[in-house]
Structure 1
Amino acid sequence: MLLMFADDVVLISDTITGLQNQLNILHKYSEYSSLEVNLDKTNIVVFRRGGRLARNEKWFLNGQPITTLSTYKYLGVVFSSTFKMRNCITDLALRGKRALMEVISNLNGIGIIDPSVYLKIFDAQIQPILLYGAEIWGMHRFYEIEKVHLIACKRFLNVSPQTPTAIVYGECGRYPLYINALCKTLKYWVKVIHMHEDRIPLKVYKMQVYYDNCGYKTYASYIREILFAHGFGYVWMSQTVGDAALFLSRFKTVAINIFLQSWNSTLNNSSRYHMYREFKSLLTPEKYLSCILDKKFRNILTKFRCGLLRLKYNEGRWLNVEVAERSCPLCNLGVEDEYHFIFTCTEYNALRLKYLPCIYQKQPNYYKFKSLLSTNNETTLRNLCKYIYHAYKSRTIKLQ
């Protein structure tokens, strides 16, 4: 009965003659059933490692030649003749970016929205496009997919495309999409190993396990490497997971923890993050993104936290100037970095008295600096934004 509703047919053969015989049978069946094959939508892909097609690699349907392509999109996935997923990923990234730009365009008229709402829209509308078919390619990391995710985060933060990835993840409290792709891959693997013995996917998987044991690289090989890399080697050895939901939850937790270790290592081992790591230690969305509704104030705080304001310390980093030569152009009392801008420069004393709480004005130190930049007190955050905005505006005017 289901064949009555089929609107497409896939023929697969490992020989030239075998495929032609299948096409001949298809033609006979079409005539018998009063159906017509649309040759404009009928194509052939010869899967091979490379090289040109042989002269005899030509196929016909009712005497008419069928076009041979190197790539073909089937069920939303672009298959390549060389078994590479690059064309598929490029197509997914392009569609995801197009959908993201449409979402951003629709949200522009609303103004500032809560980060949880914006990111929920991304996860519901864009992420399914980017991770479509990840069950078969999700064991690999593709920058094109993550790039769309980063564009979404950077557009929300209103920062430049060159803003370091670690800071973007930190401000938004996000982790890379490859973790979700890995989970989709393993979820499908769990589904396959629990199939009935007569199911073709399970038979194909067992064949791949056999070839993996013989030293060949297969889909099963990547599953094995993922499980061992995340501390689940025993699951591969037993080929069973017990409670599937619990296993997948534990795997995702481990994958996130591995990323968090890498993220913290990035912050601690690079001078680029010398100031950011002073006040950022947890990968959680920042409070100011949801409570500061004035765009100009929120943007200035974001750029300040990300090290994007044109302070002498940041400019020196961009131009590779020695740290000792990055002194404050207004007071010359030391290097003009974020700490100096908030607590030390004498040009902003009046603004400090007006906007900063008294506790931060008396005996300032790095502990108070960290406390101020990591506070969740909405009043303090609003006053901090106003201080940075007016102080930086004053600095710009004085240096003109």
Structure 2
Amino acid sequence: MLDKLHQRCKRWRVLFNTDKSKCVHFRKVRRKQTKFEFVIGKKRLEKVDQYKYLGVTFTFSGNFTENAEILSKAGGRALGKIISKIHTNKDFGIKANEKLYYSCVVPFLDYASGVWGYSKYQAVENIQNQAIRYFLGVHRFAPRLALYGDIGWIPSYYQRWMNMIRYWNRILTMDTDRITRLAFDMDYRFCSNNWCSEIKDIFQKLELEHVFNSQVPVDMKTAELCILRYYSSLWEDAVQNVPKLRTYVTIKSTFEQEEYVKLNLSKTERSHLAQLRCGILPLRVETRRYIGERPKERVCQFCDAGHPYENV
């Protein structure tokens, strides 16, 4: 195939850039790289373990962790730029923040995620967590379940499910003789440790397995409601098992955006409310700090002797 490509380029006087062209041997991690040399004309193509194609980084093992980290860095830079622009404006509401985040940051994080978005990538989740923490005005030790429950956003992992389902709809509407559709048909027949097996698992979790079996497009609003319902049930179960949120669960039991998030509050007011609800507000009853003069000595509970307060 490379020889035929070289002959065609030579015939039509097209220069082939071998510096930008690489060879990737897709294989299992423990398998050694092939020793076969790939040549176009008299120029040898370099063999590499990863290659960026149309903005997506492919690695030899088929793992997209490196791709997710690269995209998350780009999304982090975009988020930092937004924060630097709006930091002086203390009256930004949730609608403006959502618009900026989903318009300027999410396109980086979800780029081509219809192909690679079936796994959880902490690097991508960290960017969304950072955006939520900045808006609510809480530090990095705030319980994430409480933050998602108050702001009403679902994790990026479940948002990528929407992109995969959207890509599923797109493939099914393609002409049957297109290369992409032919590759999908082969992938569908195999359906083991591949993209189709992952989308099948998603449909099963959303109770839409009949869609996969019959190969029909899905209404995106229906898919969005199913994903929201699925994550809401997971959130309601998980929030009960976090000791830090034992007070939080007494005031909130359903996954939905809280009213104080929608109010036109200042950043300080919103921060105090969020910290109080998450159980991280530095109240005296929790920090156990002395209001008056600190005693010089304190009786040790082990030896009943007096020790300097700093040493107890």
Q: Do the two structures share a fold, i.e. TM-score over 0.5?
A: yes
CA distances 1:134-166 after superposition (whole Å, capped 9, x unpaired)? 111222222221211111101112211111111
Q: Does 1:160 align with 2:139?
A: yes
Question: 2:223 maps to which residue?
Answer: 251
Corresponding residue for residue 237 of structure 1: 213
Residues 78 and 253 of structure 1: is their aligned pair in 2 closer, same or farther, counting only changes over 3 Å? Answer: same
Residue identity (%):
24
The offset of 1:282, in angstroms, is 4.0
Tell me the residue number matched to 1:217. Answer: 193
Change (3 A) 1:299 1:238: closer
**Inter-partner Cα distance in structure 1 for 2:6 and 2:175:** 34
Give the drift of 1:258: 1.5
1:91 aligned residue: 70
Aligned partner of 2:44 in structure 1 is: 65
Match in the other structure for 2:295: none
Mapped to 2, the partners of 1:49 and 1:24 lie a distance apart of 28
Partner of 1:288: 260
Does 2:166 match 1:187?
A: yes
Corresponding residue for 1:337? none
- Give the corresponding residue for 2:32: 52
- Aligned mates of 2:210, 2:285 — CA distance in 1: 51
Shift of 1:281: 3.4
Distance 1:286 1:234, change over 3 A: closer
Rounded to whole Å, the distance in 1 between the matches of 2:140 and 2:18 is: 45
C-alpha separation between the residues in 2 aligned to 1:190 and 1:289?
35
Mapped partners of 2:262, 2:215: distance in 1:
45
Cα separation, 2, equivalents of 1:60 and 1:260: 54
2:277 counterpart (305, 310, 318)? 305
Question: Displacement, 1:73?
Answer: 0.5
Q: Write the letter of the residue equivalent to 2:65.
A: R
SS at match of 1:278: helix
| Corresponding residue to 2:239 among 260, 264, 267 | 267
Gaps spanning 5+ residues in structure 2: where? 292-312
SS at 1:154's partner residue?
A: helix
1:128 match: 107
CA gap 1:154/1:47 in 2 versus in 1, 3 angstroms: same
1:219 corresponds to which letter in structure 2?
Answer: W
- Return the TM-score normalized by structure 1: 0.67
Structure 1 letter corresponding to 2:226 = V
Helix, strand or coil for the counterpart of 1:40? coil
The Cα of 1:53 is off from its aligned counterpart by 2.4
Q: Counterpart of 1:68 in 2: which secondary structure? A: strand
Report the equivalent of 1:351: none
3-state SS of 2:23 partner: strand
Matches of 1:296 and 1:234, distance apart in 2: 49
2:127 alignment partner, one of 134, 148, 163: 148
CA distance in 1, matches of 2:199, 2:33: 33
Q: How does 1:304-383 map to 2 (within 5 A)?
A: 304-311=276-283, 314-315=286-287
Q: Is contact 1:96–1:127 with CA below 8 Å preserved after alignment?
A: yes
8 Å Cα contact 2:23/2:47 also seen in 1: yes
Q: Distance in 2 between matches of 1:234 and 1:100?
A: 39
State the shift of 1:60 in Å: 2.5
CA contact (8 A) 1:292 1:298 kept: no
- Paired with 1:301 and 1:53, the residues of 2 have a C-alpha distance of 56
Aligned-partner Cα distance in 2 for 1:291–1:193:
43
CA 1:160–1:230: 2 relative to 1, 3 Å: same
- Cα gap change, 1:69/1:281 in structure 2, threshold over 3 Å: closer, same or farther? same
Q: Kindly name which structure, 1 or 2, has the bigger radius of gyration based on alpha carbons.
A: 1
In structure 1, the partner of 2:185 is: 206
Which residue in the other structure is 1:379 paired with?
none
CA contact (8 A) 1:307 1:314 kept: no
Counterpart CA distance in 1 for 2:61 and 2:97 is: 38
1:72–1:78 CA contact under 8 A, matched in 2: yes
In 1, the alpha carbon distance for the partners of 2:267 and 2:34 equals: 62
**Residues 238 and 268 of structure 1: CA distance in aligned 2, closer, same or farther (over 3 Å):** same
Choose between structure 1 and 2: higher helix proportion.
1
Aligned match of 2:4:
25
Aligned to 1:103: 82
Contact 1:183/1:252 (CA < 8 Å) preserved in 2? Answer: yes
Secondary structure at 2:105's aligned position in 1? Answer: helix
| Number of aligned residue pairs | 291
Opposite residue 60 of structure 1, the aligned amino acid is: V
Let me know the Cα RMSD of the aligned residues: 2.4
Q: Which of the residues 25, 33, 40 maps onto 2:19?
A: 40
Change (3 A) 1:54 1:238: closer
What letter corresponds to residue 278 of structure 2 in structure 1?
A: C
CA shift for structure 1 position 256: 0.7
Give the whole-Å Cα distance in 2 for the aligned partners of 1:193 and 1:78.
Answer: 25
Q: How far does the alpha carbon of each residue in 1:166-197 deviate from its partner, in whole angstroms, 9 at most, with x for none?
A: 11112222111222211111121122233332
Q: Which amino acid aligns with 2:194?
A: T
Which of the pair has the greater relative contact order for Cα pairs under 8 Å at 6+ separation?
Answer: 2
